[in-house]
Amino acid sequence: MKDKIVKLLRKIKYDYTYGLFDLFRRRERSLLTVYEPTSLRHVSVDACRSEDALILISATYPAVEDHPHTLSRLTEGHAISPMAEGAIRTLIASCERECGETILFTSTYRTLAFQSSIYGVNPYAAKPGESEHHSGLVADIKVDGYAQRRFIMSKTGKWMAKHAHEYGFIIRYPLWGEKKTGVDYEPWHLRYVGKPHAEIMYREKLVLESYLERLEQAPFFRFGDTVISAQRGDTLVIPNGVENVCVSQNTRGGYILWFTIPSAE
């Protein structure tokens, strides 16, 4: 009973005291509008620019192999996908300038073997293959004196909760998303999904799982000058006249593609 009370008090202190901003933040609606192109053409996946920023790795969709590409070194022992390197460096520089605290990496990319070694000594850790760290798109961070749940008590933790999306990152496991993700609140866990996805997810309060499901509700969605589409198969469908199509696997048996259209359309 005593342990349960202590656990509850800690949850109240870290989650409901310092995490209230994000828990009660107003959710915006209808940022995505259905888009209906007048004419379409087919393109292959290989003809698009690979930006696998929306890969979903979880207990339901485990990784089966290590990251297939060379990663970019951040600091000694820490690496991230090249597509996220510039964004994470800019994000950290901006945050340190605003908050005056030095940000340290605690964990970034992990191989399956390394995750296995962690799980071997900590059965509460994610099983090998089920950790988002296999994606190469994650950075766990801290500042001096504020690690893990205490991170949200720091200036940096609060700033990240409000501004990470502006740089293409989300707090992957928010307090309000525990039921959907199956993972407890982790204010220190940054996940790169890129623009404009991070902004949409932040403003509509969608976790990655919910965002991917949302995109399957219509063939094409529009957000500003960007069109986003969830599709399956090796041949994708895009509007005529569109170039520079980005595509990401979603680990759910399909792809997410997005591209810019003229403002006048």
Which sequence positions are flagged as catalytic? 186
Q: How many CB atoms lie under 10 A from the CB of residue 20?
A: 12
DSSP three-state, residue 265: coil
Q: Where do runs of H (alpha helix) occur along the chain?
A: 2-11, 20-24, 82-99, 112-121, 155-163, 178-181, 197-204, 208-215
DSSP three-state, residue 243: coil
Provide the CA 77 distance to its chain's centre, in angstroms: 21
Q: How far is CA 33 from CA 6, 133, 225, in A?
A: 46, 32, 11
Q: How far apart are the C-alpha atoms of 128 and 117, rounded to whole Å?
A: 9
Contacts for 28 with CB less than 8 Å, ≥ 6 apart: 203, 204
4 residue type, one letter:
K
Contacts for 92 with CB less than 8 Å, ≥ 6 apart: 103, 141
Rg (CA), the chain: 19
110 residue type, one letter:
R
